[in-house]
Structures are given as C-alpha cells and as structure tokens.
Chain A
Amino acid sequence: MAAIPESLLELVQKPARYAGGEVNSVVKDKSTVKVRFAFCFPDLYEVGMSHLGMKILYSLLNKDPEVWCERVFAPDSDMEKLLLERGLPLFALESRDSVGDFDMIGFTLQYELSYSAILNMLNLSGVPVLASERHDLKNLVVAGGPCACNPEPLCDFIDLFMPGEGEEVLPEIVELYKKAKALGWSKEKYLSEAAQIKGVYVPSLYDVTYKEDGTIDSVTARDGAPLPVKKRIIRDLDKVYYPEDFVVPFVDIVHDRAMVEIMRGCIRGCRFCQAGFIYRPLREKHADTLAQNARCLCDSTGYDELSLTSLSTSDYSELEPLLDDLLTWTDDEKVNLSLPSLRVDNFSESLMEKVTTIRKSGLTFAPEAGTQRMRDVINKNVTEDELMETCRTAFMGGYTSVKLYFMIGLPTETDEDVLGIIETAQRVVDLFYSLEDRPKGKSVQVTVSVASFVPKPFTPFEFEPQDSRDELHRKQRLMLSALRSRKVNLDWHEADTSYLEAVFARGDRRLGKVIYDAWKKGCNLDSWNDHFRFDLWMESFSENGVDPDFYALRRRDTNETMPWDHMDYGVSKNFLIKEYKKAVSAETTPNCREKCAGCGANGLVGGVCCGK
C-alpha cells in the first residue's frame, strides 16, 4: 500500500510533478528487489529532472534487477504544507512509498544553496536529519556530486560521500549494501567496510582539530580509513554506461531535451572555475559512440531537441565530424541541435552554419571579464578581438541577440575592470550597427549577465577572499551608472546568495550546526528568491557564534590546511599555488592541449592525458 493517496494530487499545483508514470520511468515489484534506493534531488522537479547525472545513475542502478532506484524531488510549498497537515511522508515518485521505507537515500550535491533542502527532505520523510540519530543500516544517507569535493559542512547529516564520478562507485556501494543486509551487518560495520572502497569518504571515521585562530590543525583517520581520500574517475568514456532512454516528463522542465555528454573535464584551466579542476583530466568520447547514444535517445524519448553537453563544447576535437553525422538524420526528423558552452575563440562560420540549419535562437558567450588584464588574471584566454569576430560571424549569420556572461568581484579587480564589462557590451552593439550586411530591419539586443565571483575549493583562487556585499553592490551600481545604450540589458545575481555560497563552498564541519538551526528556523530551497531568508541564516550564524566572514571574506595563507585538503582530486595543491601566483601577476597558462601545465591529474588515468 503506497503511503500517498492519489487524491492528494488533486489539491496541488502541477500535480504531474508528483504523479510519476512518465514514459521510461521504472516500476519494479518491490518484493523481488534486494535494495531500494531513493535518488533525491534537493530542488523542485523541474530543476532535478533536467540534471544529466541523475538520469545516468537512475538508469544504471535500475539495470540491476535486484535494485530499484526511484526519484524524489523537493516538494513545492503547497505540497509540503499538505504533507505536514495530513501527517504524510515525502514519497518517491515511482511507488509513492515513503522515502523512510528505502534502504539507501542518495542526494546529489549540485550547489551549496541546496543544503537546507536536504535536511528538509529527510525530515519530511520521517528520517532523522542527524547521522548520529540514525542507528540502523536502513535509511543509510549517501551523497555525491561536485559539492562532495568539500563535504565538510554536511558531515553531521550524511553517512557516506562519493567524491568524484559516480558510475562505478555507486553500484559498488550498493553491492556492498546487499551483502551487509544479507549478513545483518550494523551500520558501523557497513561504513567501515565501505570506507575501503576507492572514492568513498565516511566522515564519521575522521577527526578534525582546530587551532586557536580557528583554522584547521589536523585531520586524522580512524579504523584504517584512507587519508587522503581519492576521488573516483572514469578512465574511458566510450566504455562507461550511458542510458538508452531518459524519463520523459509531462510538465515543462528547465532542460527538456535529449543530451549526450561529449567529454568530461576541460582543457582550459580558467582559474575561477571549479568544474575545470575537479573533473580533470579531459576525457573525450568518440563521435561514433555519441552518434549512437544520440540516435538511441531520440528514438526512445521522442525529444525534438538534442544537446551536446560538456564544459566547453567547441573544444571537442571531433565536433564537426559529429555534427556532420548527426545532421544526416536530425534535419529530416526535425531535431534541433543545441550546443551550449561555446567559446568565442573557436566558433567558426562552418560550425555556426551547422547549428543554424534548424533553428536560430540567441547565442551565449562567456568572456567572464571586461578587460584583457582581468581575463589574463582568471586565465580566460580569449581576446576582445576574438569576441568581436565571433559576434560579427553571428550577426552576419542572422543572429540579433547575444548573451554575455561576466563576473564581478574577481581577484585584483579594479573599477576599470568593472566598467570594462559595460564598454565591451557597448562595443558589441556598435559592431552590429557598423555592419553593412547586418540583419535588415532588426535591432540588436545584448544581454549582460553579471555573477558575483565565489572562490571555490580546488581552484587557484581557493585562497582568495570574496568581495564584501557592500563592495559588490557598489560595483553593480557602478555598472548601472555607466550604462548608456538601451540595446544592452544588464542583470546580476544577488550578492546575498553569492555570499552564502562562498561560506558553504569553503566551509568546515562547524557549519553543520548553522545549517541545522537555519533549517529549523524555516530555511529551505535557498536558491529560490521566494524562499530565501538571508535574515534567518544570519541569525543562525550569530546564535552559533560562527562568523561567516571567516569563511567568505578571509584571505588564506597558502600553507593553511584547508577543510578539504584530505580530499585528493588529482590536482596538486602546489599546482594551485603556482597558478594563484601567476594569476596575481596576470600571467596566463596555456591550455592542456598546447602545453601540459603539470597539474598532476594525469596520474588519475595512468599518466597520459590530452597534454603535449
């Protein structure tokens, strides 16, 4: 008997988000499986269902007839209210059973502002939020994803983390769980055995001590747990599992399309970009494997849009052959190809023609900074000429809207750099009107989206302070005052959310109490404006005697022990320090294909990666 009566769905907005029954969703007989796994995404259905990692791991786990993996998303406010009023638990979509009935409860950690939602989802499921209050093997709470590179703020809540890539390690910990269940192991026994699997971090097996100044003194491992903990990595993307189908949602989700992952990692080494370091080294998938994946997915889902995803799509070495292959059928079948993450320095005319055979929408580029000096500091190796040339190509090809991503608050930034953002956008507008062959009778629209820089672990800027919120606000006003053209749309991220992101990104175990209390006060789904309660977060910091500025705004010494230093992502700290020093003197580092910079990540794949 499912925990949730169907009639509940009549009382909420967009009930199809909770009803399950989507094409390709997996329903099994629970009496025939050994392990039930609740794959939880700590955000709304529309966001979670857009996430490729969840699709891969859902299909992968369900390939095993002894395992049933189901999906769980954060309920929207109306559903949450109903569940609480009626004393009903949070449920998984496929069976509508309570999440509390599941053996393993897995969370994906995609962004720091989703942490409060994890606590909220556990609590709605009737599962104790604190790991120390969950005594049994059942309801084991595990987590992976990019934020697992610094899992410390979540150590009070999660039993086991999986730093790195999940396709191999996740089935391994599930397999061990089958054994543990059959042999009646205790939770402690399971965790101590699991800690021996490469790519597993069991936080309860590590002790952290602090110095008087609040920085970390030491991290020690108990019970034979490894130190450091090495991330898991997939060596060969052509051989790793890729789903033949995706669950096809009924409601409109954020990224509603077929996706193939053309490569993992990035050759560029932009110094602000965490993904660029934690997914090293670059591994490409072959065009023929991808063509096959794409064909299969479009057939099984009926999607009319196919996205080639990666951190920097135009760096994929077989991009044009892949597009030629795909265009042999996508055109006829009216499948629209989308190429996110294009760079301005290698966006060619022939590439643009291939993308636009089907549909012309806007183009998005990320110069990231407004002056050459600033771009050199962050190692975004593109020039303004390249940006202008790309925009020229796009305008001549019929595009009239361009979106440009920038950041403020970058290390060494001056007002000149900030104003350079607006000047760059203005030059793109001027370029449009200078072109004789511009699209006739149309005006240009340049959207400038400005994020506030958040220093992240495992990047050369992990030592850097974030700009204070006052300073970020001042820089936002400075840009606004410099804005002259109505053809430029300026929008920016809220500094408050970026500040909290900075606190948790480089946080340590002492933040657990803050997260717990903030959630108790009502914090949940902090990345949504209508939920975000900065005042409650600040209250929780102050009541726990924790200074958030210590985490967000403090400059670290390069020999300070970082809360994540016991995690090994393959990139050496010495390399990060070297890059940091080069950044400060605006010295660039060539990309991995031009010249190996010696980051150390090649050790993860047997010594050879893409470098020369």
Chain B
Amino acid sequence: MSPRQLGIGVAAMLAVALVMGLYALRMRGRAQTATPPANEAQAVAPPTAGPTEAVTLYVAHDDSGTLEEVSAHIPLPPSGQQRAEGVLRGLLRVYLNSSSPHAIPAAAEIRSVYLVDPGLAVIDINSEFANNHRSGVLVEELTVVSLVRTLTANVSGISRVKILVDGHERDTLSGHADLSCFYDVAAMNQLAEQISAGQ
C-alpha cells in the first residue's frame, strides 16, 4: 500500500467516524424530543351524525361481575381504524353515562386504535383513563375484557390486542390488570363468554 493510499484510507475512516458521531448526536436529540407533549390534541372524534350501524357492545356490570351483550346503533366511519375507534368510543359513552353499571373516570378517552397486520390491534387510552381507574382485580379485568371483546366483535381479523396508555407501555391498568402483554383474542373471548354467562 502506497503512502498516498494509506493517507486517503485514514482520512476516509475518520470521515466515517465523524459522520457516525454526528448521526448518533442527531438520533439522540430526536429521541429526546420524541415524547409527545401532555396537552397533545386528541384524536379526531367519530362522527356524531350520519348513517348509523348496528354494533354489539359488551358492557361490564360491577354488581354481578358479568358482561352484558348490548346492541346499539351508532354512526361509524367506514375505514377499519376509524371504525374501531368509533366502536370503543361508543362503549365508553355507555360507561360515562351517569347510570353506568361500570363507572370509569370522567376524562377517560380512547386516543387511537391502530390496526397492524397481521391481526394485531393496539388500543391507546389516555392517562386519565388509567390513572383514575378504580383499583381491583375484577373491576380492572372487566374493563379490559369489555374493551377487547367489543373491539373484536365488531372489527374482524384481530387475533391479538395490546393496550397502551398515552402511547406508552404500562405494567398494569391500575395496579392489577396486566397491560404489559399482548392479549390473545381467542382466550379473551373465551373468558368474556365465561364472564357473560356469570360462571
């Protein structure tokens, strides 16, 4: 190797090192600014007018520890993701009613539902939903099963469901129901049937 080639080689390696350093710096800055602000605008609300569609909601009842199958007509957007969000927001409206059989926090919202191939749905709830949810194994389980069962009953092709809080992973809903896992829809549906039947 000639001295000239050696010099050029060293220069090239140092240039690569510099570029990689700057790239790492840029990525670090991007990661630090990636966290969305707390007051980020909420997802677009589903339409409150227009043609309605019959859906099945699985409504939890705290007093009996069961799920009730309820038919409802709600206006739904056509696409899969917006439809999924509309169905779950329809369920939340039932729970936010003053005569709700399963009260949830007043500020609880579905931020988004992402439908990811193959068969994965990600439900993103807001932090008020989780932070102010009542704490207990049964009461948290009823919320989770109700959400998952209602979603999968009205949107086909979902085999796994993940729940995020404000876009982030969280260990539990409010100290009990596990949110760190991917729910197996078949197992959840079986559980929902068990709960609906009241044992």
Real complex partners, A and B?
no
Residues in B lying within 8 Å of A, measured CB to CB: none
Binding site for B on A (CB under 8 A): none
